[in-house]
């Protein structure tokens, strides 16, 4: 990604698309991409901008609150909330990597992103998506140990184990994010520098490549399936063990409580993997570009906001912690933590 990609385009394209001429080979260097985004105008554009801004603000506040209270409240210093804090940080980073630029381009007539910025955004999105996969796997394993081995929970899920699992989750997406993004943006681009999306996703960028991308698509598909199936298999096996353990509980109330402890995580997993399968596992799938663009806001804008709601509103411990955070002793810590996260 250190060099811009060389593209062969004609004189008409040179007038239409901002490029930088390279002599004497009659070649050009693409220095930025034009995002076509959403075809909203007037009141509709203002309404969409307002809705996205509100959701983004709710996302930042909700996830920041979770990150802060799980850090400063000793009652929430457990493995489940440690992983929940990491998930909240992932959602904050994910939203920051897409939504601010999206809001700016909504207000601008010329929606432009630099070549390097596009590559960096795609690498960050791959990194965070894969990190979230492994983090959800770690959270499923935590729930399995808590329900199937309650007497050994504190030993099996001690602080050292949790830290190693969290670090492993954060590092899991680095090789693929760097490797495949570097490979993609060293391919030859030609014909145009416009793509029909509101952020740099792999599918619209691939359509601008004039080289044969069959090998790239095959390898990225295999890599995604292999990497994503590791945490997915852990989640699947964990829930099989959980279901078996819960069915052994004689009390109906006990079964309900056990399933309730996993409901939030299961909802997030289902929604996340369904969107990943539709959008990312098939870079040039039969799903139309317009349809992909319309589906994308659900996992780029809405999902990061829903996660804190799903995990918090149904959790009495989080609610009680939020109340405690507003007493005199913890109020200043909360404000300082929020300021640090939003800075």
For 138-160, the pLDDT digits (tens) are 999 998 998 888 888 989 999 99
User: Is residue 150 included in any domain, yes or no?
Assistant: yes
Is residue 155 domain-resident?
yes
SS3 39: coil
334: preceding bond cis by omega (within 30 degrees)? no
Question: Does a structural domain hold residue 1?
Answer: no
**Mean of the pLDDT values across residues 14-19?**
38
Query: Per residue in 165-205, pLDDT tens?
Result: 999 999 988 988 898 889 888 888 776 777 777 788 787 78
Q: Model confidence at 90, in pLDDT bands (50, 70, 90)?
A: very high
Token duo for residue 121? 């955004």
Task: Give the pLDDT band of residue 5 (cuts 50, 70, 90).
Answer: very low
- Domain-embedded: residue 237: yes
Contact 126, 176 (CB under 8 A): yes
- Element holding 192 (H helix, E strand): none
Predicted confidence at residue 23, as pLDDT, reads: 39
Q: What is the pLDDT of residues 26-73, one digit of tens each?
A: 344 566 777 776 666 667 778 888 888 999 999 998 899 888 888 888
Q: Which two tokens stand for residue 136?
A: 């959800």
The pLDDT score that the predictor gives to residue 37 is 67
- Tell me how far apart the alpha carbons of residues 112 and 229 are, in angstroms, rounded to a whole number: 36
Domain coverage including residue 40? 6-342
Q: What are phi and psi of 71, to 5 degrees?
A: -90, -45
CATH (domain of 17) = 1.20.1070.10
- In the chain, how many domains are there? 1
């Amino acid at each position: 990604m250190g060099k811009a990609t060389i593209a062969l385009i004609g004189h008409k394209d040179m007038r239409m698309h901002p490029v930088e001429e390279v002599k004497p080979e009659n070649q050009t260097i693409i220095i930025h991409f034009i995002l076509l985004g959403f075809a909203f105008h007037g009141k509709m554009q203002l309404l969409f901008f307002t809705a996205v801004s509100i959701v983004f603000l709710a996302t930042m506040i909700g996830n920041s609150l979770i990150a802060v209270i799980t850090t400063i409240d000793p009652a929430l210093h457990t493995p489940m909330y440690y992983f929940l804090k990491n998930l909240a940080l992932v959602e904050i980073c994910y939203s920051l990597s897409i939504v601010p630029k999206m809001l700016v381009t909504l207000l601008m007539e010329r929606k432009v992103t630099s070549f390097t910025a596009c590559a960096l955004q795609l690498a960050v999105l791959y990194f965070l998506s894969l990190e979230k996969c492994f983090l959800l796997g770690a959270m499923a394993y935590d729930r399995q140990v808590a329900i199937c081995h309650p007497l050994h929970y504190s030993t099996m899920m001690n602080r050292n184990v949790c830290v190693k699992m969290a670090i492993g989750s954060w590092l899991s997406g680095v090789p693929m994010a760097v490797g495949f993004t570097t490979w993609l943006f060293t391919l030859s681009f030609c014909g145009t520098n416009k793509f029909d999306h509101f952020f740099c996703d792999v599918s619209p960028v691939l359509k601008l490549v004039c080289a044969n991308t069959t090998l790239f698509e095959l390898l990225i598909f295999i890599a995604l399936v292999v990497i994503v199936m590791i945490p997915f298999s852990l989640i699947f096996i964990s829930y099989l063990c959980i279901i078996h353990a819960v069915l052994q509980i004689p009390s109906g109330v006990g079964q309900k409580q056990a399933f309730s402890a996993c409901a939030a995580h299961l909802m997030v997993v289902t929604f996340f993997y369904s969107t990943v399968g539709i959008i990312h596992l098939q870079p040039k799938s039969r799903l139309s570009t317009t349809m992909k663009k319309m589906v994308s806001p659900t996992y780029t804008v809405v999902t990061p906001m829903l996660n804190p709601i799903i995990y918090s509103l149904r959790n009495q411990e989080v609610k009680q912690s939020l109340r405690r955070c507003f007493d005199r002793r913890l109020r200043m810590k909360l404000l300082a933590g929020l300021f640090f996260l939003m800075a």
